[in-house]
Amino acid sequence: MSQKVKDNLKKETEKLIKDSGITPGLAVVIVGDDPASRVYVNSKKKACAEIGYYSEEHALPASTTEEELLNLVEKLNNDDKIHGILVQLPLPKHINEETIINAINPKKDVDAFHPVNVGKIMIGNFDFLPCTPAGVMELLDDANIELNGKNAVVIGRSNIVGKPQSMLLLHKNATVTICHSRTQNLKEITKTADILVVAVGRAEMIDGDYIKEGAVVIDVGMNRLENKKLVGDVHFESCEKKASYITPVPGGVGPMTIATLMKNTFTAAKNTIK
Ligand code: GUN
């Protein structure tokens, strides 16, 4: 599925370069040495190379100051080769993430984290798709899953996944419930879900008891167990028995997130032509 998106982008990129001389360019900024972030950043660079984008990596030490990072963002904002800027989160504690996100030119904000882009997503008229939630929507669409009038339950209320995911589902006319760590009677709510999206960050927390027969289960989690095994937030074996559709970890939502990021980078490059 993600391969299909990347293959299409590769063709469109060849055409864009031929017609306008513009090669989409993505700058990826990583601060510190979080191992999960390193894996994500490597996948993003690899996808750029596959499609034919220009990409730059800025790997900065954990001791980088907020001011130094702001200076880099400003430099990238003013660099015509760069159409998309991605600052990998989380940032070290001494750097205010909101300050950094707010400094990115909204036209280059391929994560769609800037308040301008978040507002556009809320309204439903947006250029940049929120990467993980849009990847989930693409999987649902590809599997021909009906959303109109269905009960969708999202567990997690982060700015990266839970909140924008809820908006995208709402735009498709689902009846959306957002659950989080303070939600009471979680199981009663999740059992009403025709579509359940899980983004809690706790290994295999949602097992078969939480879902109803025939539910669609989307696992956004990515957790490393002590034995090094990579698992989602969903207990796959027990849910698979009841679900009509379920995404695996790894290989489900993750690659779609990157595919969406690549789409956004293309959009950002194309939008400079107008
Ligand atoms: N950290 C975890 N997911 C993401 C993402 O989608 N974008 C960025 N910038 N950082 C992340």
Q: What is the pLDDT of residues 187-198, one digit of tens each?
A: 999 999 999 999
Name the residue with higher pLDDT: 274 or 132: 132
Mean pLDDT of the 210-232 span:
96
Check: CB of residue 72 under 8 Å from CB of residue 108: no
Q: % helix / strand / coil in the chain, to the nearest 5?
A: 45, 15, 40
* pLDDT (0 to 100) of residue 274: 72
% of the chain beyond a pLDDT of 70: 100
* pLDDT (0 to 100) of residue 1: 77
Q: How far is the CA of 256 from the centre of ligand 1 (A)?
A: 13
How far is residue 129 from each of residues 103, 175, 267, measured CA to CA in Å? Answer: 19, 21, 10
Mean pLDDT of the 45-69 span:
98
Lowest mean pLDDT segment, chosen from 59-68, 135-144, 221-230: 221-230
Q: How far is the CA of 29 from the centre of ligand 1 (A)?
A: 11
In sequence order, the β-bridge partners of residue 69 are none
Would the CB of 101 count as within 6 Å of ligand 1?
A: no
Q: Is the pLDDT of residue 25 over 90?
A: yes
Ligand 1 pocket test: which of 57, 111, 223 has the largest number of ligand atoms within 8 Å of its C-beta? 111
Mean pLDDT of the 15-34 span:
97
Q: Is the pLDDT of residue 239 over 90?
A: yes
Ligand 1 pocket test: which of 26, 57, 69, 88 has the largest number of ligand atoms within 8 Å of its C-beta? 88
* pLDDT (0 to 100) of residue 121: 98
- Number of other CB atoms surrounding residue 26 within 10 Å: 28
Q: Is the pLDDT of residue 31 over 80?
A: yes
The one-letter amino acid code at 129 reads L
Distance between CA 267 and CA 222 in Å, rounded?
A: 28
pLDDT band at 130 (very low <50, low <70, confident <90, very high): very high
- Tens digit of pLDDT for each residue in 148-194? 999 999 999 999 999 999 999 999 999 999 999 999 999 999 999 99
Closest atom, ligand 1, to C-alpha of 111: 7
155-185 b/e with 16+ CB inside 10 Å = b? bbbeebbbbbbbbbbebbebebbbbeeeeee
Would the CB of 39 count as within 6 Å of ligand 1?
A: no
Would the CB of 160 count as within 6 Å of ligand 1?
A: yes
Q: Is the pLDDT of residue 39 over 80?
A: yes
Dihedral sign computed on CA atoms, order 211, 217, 218, 220 = positive
Ligand 1 pocket test: which of 39, 40, 253 has the largest number of ligand atoms within 8 Å of its C-beta? 40
The one-letter amino acid code at 82 reads I
Q: Is the pLDDT of residue 137 over 90?
A: yes
* pLDDT (0 to 100) of residue 267: 98
Check: CB of residue 114 under 8 Å from CB of residue 103: no
Mean pLDDT of the 241-256 span:
97
User: If DSSP codes are grouped into helix, strand and coil, which group holds residue 169?
Assistant: helix
Distance between CA 68 and CA 242 in Å, rounded?
A: 51
In 222-261, the DSSP E strands lie at 223-224, 230-231, 245-246
Mean pLDDT of the 3-21 span:
97
Q: Is the pLDDT of residue 19 over 80?
A: yes
> Following DSSP, what letter does each residue of 44-107 receive, concatenated?
HHHHHHHHT-EEEEEEE-TT--HHHHHHHHHHHHT-TT--EEEEPSSPPTTS-HHHHHHHS-GG
Q: Is the pLDDT of residue 126 over 90?
A: yes
User: If DSSP codes are grouped into helix, strand and coil, which group holds residue 231?
Assistant: strand
The one-letter amino acid code at 267 reads T
